[in-house]
Structure 1
């Protein structure tokens, strides 16, 4: 793209959200302890201990039931491991064992159950729910910006409910049926994880959902943008930028290159932001977007019935 096109600017009103980041380019929207409460962590430790004791006391190593429960428990541990990283805005792919964990998990297959088996369908639904969450989190990680900006799907998970499959699971557990006891513990563990995941999504909803971004009037180009604001942004500070242009959402980094106090008027500052490491595809899209906006507004100025000038041969 030529330098001339890169600096083609035009005033547009678009949904825009941007936030300051630390020296590592990270902006935490909630502290880990706000997402994962102390009492919940203690309860999770208790559940893990109880399940381990039941496995050791009751099931033989070659038991198919024990193996199935072990797989469910192991996959939930993987889910929580990924959430632990994302709660700190860390890229789990940078962990030395990430690829190993993913390869091992890929070896698991959905359980085969009889169509008329209520417990079997419960276990199948349980497995599929974990599958859904793992797929969502892997997509979030793979589509992140530089492994630092993570966007989550807006829909919030509903707690997995055994009553959707079986009406007497808790009664069976209380009567001493070991399989029912293990399932009750595992479902409680999944519900705890779902609660943490819901809080994480809510904390990051402000950057994940363009419908809640404020509509700002900005002077936009492929090189950056400027706007009037009442908030001061220190020069050369770094930002995460979320910009909705038509049907395209652009997420990128930026640097404040101007924070000029205004002498009068509604706003206190004029802030200019320069895009950093913007892809050529995004830069091209922004240029075409502002050119199209200019053309649309120019067309609106022509009175109805007036012929537009023809291009010369």
Structure 2
């Protein structure tokens, strides 16, 4: 072992009590010997139990129907969320303005992220009401099992199926070993041909079959050829899903004005678009240390910081890219309209 590795060992060990997930970057998390003894699956079990415990304390945030749907399926889906006037006002605010945008290219798809800090929302009352509203915030908090501030963006997916390599998001995968929440409020209709969000219902639970599969993956994950798999976002084949007893994926080709909130610890993917398409939505993400025994005490909810996580995250990514002398995954596209062609 190198001297630098000896110095890093306490930090690697400390990450076991956090949301760290990379088998390739942490030799303890990625240890073949420890995972043969069940380290990875033990972390999953504890994370799930802690999440369930916290979620019980947040039950009042959502309806009984939402709680039932999440427990059975791993997601909450609501249609006809806003009234006609409010929906029209929100669409107008999104369409008529320009925003600071960051584009990420993955294969034949570009995903545009537009942070929505308080200064962006201040003159957009419909957008502000929705982002700060109880439905968007509470469903995220319930599924994520934490009463905390979420990361929020305008989220635009632009796909050109005949250009570039295959989008890696179209492979079924789990984001991480712990329960975690993502939401999409779709402003416009999403057709099946446009490659909608797909989710394998019930895959958010650590069944005996999934535990056995996770154990097998964890033993060899550090050396996986797929970098995303090696970093803890396990990829899944259709045959493996069947072997675990899961049903066919649910495709969310939903009408505009629909909200989908999913536990992306469950297996999910972006559908393969059959035609050039643009999908516009409001996106939220909520993930915190899975082993914390409290639902609150969120530093990002403090005055001056609340509502700025997306903005802070993008600045952090830009600084890291400059430090490493690379272009980075999320590149600043300028102050542009939401569906303007990407400069990259």
TM superposition score normalised by structure 1:
0.23
Q: Higher helix proportion, which one? A: 1
Task: Name which structure has the greater RCO, CA cutoff 8 Å, separation 6+.
Answer: 2
TM superposition score normalised by structure 2:
0.22
